[in-house]
A and B are shown apart, each in its own frame.
Chain A
Amino acid sequence: MCWVTRKCGKFILGFSMLSAVNIDASYGRKQVLFRASISIEEQDRLLLVGPNGAGKSTLLQVLVGLLVPSVGKIEFSGRNISSWSTRKRITSGIGYLLQSENIVPGLSVRENILLGGYSIKRNVLATRQAEILDVFGFLKDKLDVRAGLLSGGERQALAISMVLMQRPRLLLLDEPSAGLSPKAASSVLENIKHAQDVMGVKAVCMVEHNLKVSLKWANKIVVLIGGKVAHVSDEPGIYLKQPQKLEKYFFKKASEAEV
């Protein structure tokens, strides 16, 4: 499906893999998203940023169907998926890394990985697992360890490998390197790049607070403030040299943000 997106005043024509248009979402009576739109195209490495509580996680939850928006439409590969269950969206190719609580601590590492591969065919399970363990080699020695005993970095790696077991075409990552050392954080990014290169991941949308590392990785940036999309850009590189340009959006109140 072909549609028009507005980016910094320019109109760009593109085929989008996933698009969410004019999303309103609330928790009970508290509205969190206000007419938020996002569009992810193939080959995108989209960075979704914004202050704490801006609604980034909420937006991702809407995309996978954990939260039902009160207004708005979501399309994936040209199909309207607004009424699909979470399971259907996941099995049709969207992988989602939760911001927290993304492993089962009471199960072993192996059991967690198998749980990640629940919806794939039995006969590819072993191959997939081997592929994943090639990338996250250190998990090999810990397959029978209770996942709750892993360190923060190991947990995050396990959580990502669980998502990658399904070989999603689109990867939605909510702070994959939260709480990690800079070195571990950049290795997580390496792994994501690797997944995009060899594991058939076509596009990635990532929420990340560590701008230094992630701006180098991204090729598109969306700024969300107060539940509204405040800014969209195709050149995240320029903010690397002039971070103050991006910061100005953060200090703007939601009411003043251009939508």
Chain B
Amino acid sequence: MTLLLQLLVNGIVTASLYSLLAVGFGLVYRSMRFFHIAFGAVYILASYAVILMRDTFGFPLSVSIIIGLTIGVVGGVLMDRLVYLPLEKRSAGSGVLLVASLGIYILFVNLIALIFGNEVKILSAGIAPSYTFGPLIISRMQTVQCLMGWLLVTVFWFIIRRNTFMKGVWAMGEKQRLVRVLGLPYEFMRVVVFALSSLFAGAASLLVALDVGIDPHVGMQALLTGAVAVIVGGVDLFWGWIAGAFLLAVLQSLAVWQFSARWNDLVTFGILIITLLFRPQGLFAPIRRREE
């Protein structure tokens, strides 16, 4: 029983990180209808920028984090402005965009591996303190992850509920022409989408890196986690993404308990395939009229 409770707690902590990834990936996927593979590149970029700032330039950790997140955001926005937007203006198909995105991802992974090496880089030294609540143990870093993750997701949820601009961003995915002819600033909206997406990627990346460190190849894992959470939960429902992230986290932590950590990927893709086979619109998607 205690073990199950502990697993649930771990699941909630992991879900907060997965939610960040789901929101980051989902924002671009939903509003641009575009599978942003380079999301994985933004993910590693942010943490390595922090490492660079702290280790090479000697900034304190807090300053490095702010600069690192900013670099991630600027990087994400530039990917759109320099690659995706020009391609789209030349009416390139979605296949071209996908390959371009994969190209950006590979470029970044190799560049970072070249500069920093392939091994895991540690951001915080020493063993972090942990708290015990009766039989439950939760580390300080886990608490931070959980609080920051859910805080960001909740704040964001309030914003999209209240703000007409963000509703326009939401509508952009299915009704791009409409959003433009209503006079909404389409290109600026793209900037906002990529900036927010990159911010979420960076935040997730740092929360993990501060705990267990980072290596150049974890971007793909982050991308897939976000993508699977969004697709499983349903692209068109914001809380569906969160539910998808939660489901993924809890099932993974159950698999770790029953089998081993190697089963994580199997669980991820198992859920994805089952969803695609039986409910391709997502587990929580509502029923719609056909003409929508």
Contact = CB atoms under 8 A, between A and B. Distances in A.
Interface of A: 28, 64, 66, 85-87, 90-91, 96, 98, 101-107, 111, 114-116, 118-119, 148-149, 162-163, 166
Contacts of B168: 115, 118
A146 to B, nearest CB: 9
10 contacts: A85-B187, A86-B181, A87-B186, A96-B181, A101-B174, A118-B164, A118-B168, A148-B292, A162-B182, A166-B182
Interface residues of B, number: 24
A223 B238 CA distance: 47
B262 interface: no
A166 B183 CA distance: 9
B236 A98 contact: no
A105 B164 contact: no
B103 interface: no
Majority-rule SS of B interface residues:
helix
Contact of B164 (A102, A115, A163): A115
Contacts of B185: 87
B182 A118 contact: yes
Given A87-B184, A96-B181, A162-B182, A149 B236 contact: no
B178 interface: yes
Nearest to B289: A148
Contact of A107 (B167, B177, B183, B184): B167
B165 A86 contact: no
A119 B180 CA distance: 11
Given A66-B180, A96-B181, A148-B289, 7 more contacts: A98-B178, A105-B292, A106-B292, A111-B167, A115-B168, A118-B164, A166-B182
A149 B291 CA distance: 10
B165 A118 contact: yes
B175 interface: yes
Contacts of A85: 187
A107 B187 CA distance: 22
